[in-house]
Amino acid sequence: MSQKSKIAFMGLGIMGSGMAGRLLDGGFPLTVYNRSRERSAPLEAKGARVAGTPREAGANAEIIISMVADDAASRALWLGPDGALAGAKPGTLIIESSTVSVGWIRELGELAIKNKLEMLDAPVTGSRGAAGAGQLVFLVGGESAALQRATPALSAMGRDTMHLGALGSGALMKLINNFVCGVQLVSLAEAVAMIQRSDLDFPKALAVLTDGAPGSPLVKMIGARMAARDYTPNFLLHLMAKDLRYAIAEAGKYSLDLTTAKSALGRANEAIAAGFGDRDLSSVVELFRK
């Protein structure tokens, strides 16, 4: 049996904590870094080494994985004198699993080449439960040889890996995926409000949507949360707004005006202004429950 790669995992939020936990359960030697050190404690108790900086985290790793909120958070991990790139040894494989812009992925890829590193972009589909259960799907961009090297680690964290093409392909597909999710989210919120303001039997009417043609896995999940008014975070509303912004900007490069995404973003921004940004994305329905 081949020895498992030494992995550094940076970013222990809703998704990252579950992903890192899967790597530990899979027997990978793991170093973790998170800006708020207290989030590292549960993993440290299970055997992970805790690093004080991204540079320290990546210094002895063969694979470095990042899972944070946006371009700015990703840049803060990778760049600068204490960044992971400064500590990574030539030949290290870096994997950006955050939902970030295609432009930033390509910029990071150029820096990886300069530093003699390999790189994949590998954002995921799935929420908190899927991360903890190892049921994520990785959307991967990059070279096949790098993906082959990453596969044991990705398999510990997910149920499937889709290789979509060159570096940046994973990021692009993730933005397309999430803009469609954002549009579904807001349209369902408006539909729920329309049902509740009418004389329709709410459980029956919601079942028509969730069990019928519109009933995607997302619609089923958020429909139940909207009905229960359970907004415990699985996916934060402000992150969905960020993904919509990134998708709109990326579509502009293809001369596309994502009007449905812009409408969904407007509603998401209203809900964020009303105090729901750090709640689950299903909380957007509260805009219409006045």
**DSSP output for 20-81:** HHHHHHTT--EEEE-SSGGGGHHHHHTT-EE-SSHHHHHTT-SEEEE--SSHHHHHHHHSST
Told to judge if 116 belongs to the known catalytic residues of this protein, a careful annotator would answer no
What is the distance of C-alpha 11 from the center of its chain? 11
Q: How many CB atoms lie within 10 A of CB 82?
A: 14
Choosing from 114, 174, 253, 290, the catalytic residue is 174
Instruction: Using alpha carbons, list the distances in angstroms from residue 159 to 77, 186, 212.
Output: 27, 28, 26
Q: Which residues neighbour 143 within 8 Å (Cβ) at sequence distance 6 or greater?
A: 118, 120, 167
C-alpha to C-alpha distance for 29 and 51, rounded to whole angstroms = 13
Active centre residues (catalytic): 174
